[in-house]
Structure 1
Amino acid sequence: MSIAAIESVLHQMRATALQGGFAPRMDSGASEAVQGSGGFAGEFKRTLERINGTQQQAYGKAEDFELGKPGVALNDVMVDLQKANVAFQTGLQVRNRLVAAYQEVMSLPA
């Protein structure tokens, strides 16, 4: 897998996140990366944090539904849980491809 392919996956993940309404958080780590010091590792870390946030939000909404809090509909809970699952599966596939690319690079003759 080439760097261009990895960058393409990152671009697709960014576009999907923006379409899903996830704006990049501007905490101290993110502000450094926005200024250009994060690179691939920073972008990957922010993506993992967004995936975690999506999962935490979905699990929180599911817990609210289980507790019977008003204003929490089952269909919203199910949609949020599916979004969290898709985000996790996407992150897992990116990780798998990164590991495969790393193994490929490490097996190249010196």
Structure 2
Amino acid sequence: MNTPNVDSMVTRMQALAAAASGKPVTTDSQDPNRVDFSAVLKNAIENVNTAQNSAQAKAQSFTLGASDTSLEDVIVSLQKANLSLQGMIAVRNRLVDAYKEVTNLQV
């Protein structure tokens, strides 16, 4: 398991959670703690895509009878891809709910 990759994913998810909870996100380029929401979201989407592609490649490799791919690897890879997709769907749903709430505000 790649610990730096997991740590960066946790950091990104915390940044998304902070942004979704309404905590202010600074846009000052001189602030070292600045969170670029679009970059975090893009990176998370790319990670989900990579996990999906990797799982598909392992499943196809196993189906074709490659000796270096075990059924356990395929199942774990598919579950990781599924969990990452479910997490992204949850983030999308929260973003849609926040958008609906903002559009319904009375000015």
Answer whether TM exceeds 0.5 for this pair: yes
Matched with 2:94 is 97
How far apart are 1:70 and its partner, in Å?
1.0
- Flag structure 2 segments of 5+ consecutive residues without an equivalent: 1-10, 17-31
1:72-95 CA-partner distances (Å, limit 9, x unpaired)? 000110010011001001000100
Secondary structure at the counterpart of residue 105 of structure 1: helix
- Matched to 1:54, the amino acid is A
Q: Which structure's relative contact order is higher, taking Cα pairs within 8 Å and 6+ residues apart?
A: 1
Structure number with bigger Rg: 2
Query: Which of 11, 20, 26 pairs up with 2:14?
Result: 11
What's the Cα RMSD here? 2.5
Structure 1 consecutive aligned stretches of length 4 or more whose deviation exceeds 2 Å:
35-38
* Higher share of residues assigned helix: 1
8 Å contact from structure 2 (residues 48, 85) kept in 1: yes
How far apart are 1:10 and its partner, in Å?
2.3
Of all paired residues, the percent bearing the same amino acid is 39
Relative to the length of structure 2, the TM-score reads: 0.69
Relative to the length of structure 1, the TM-score reads: 0.67
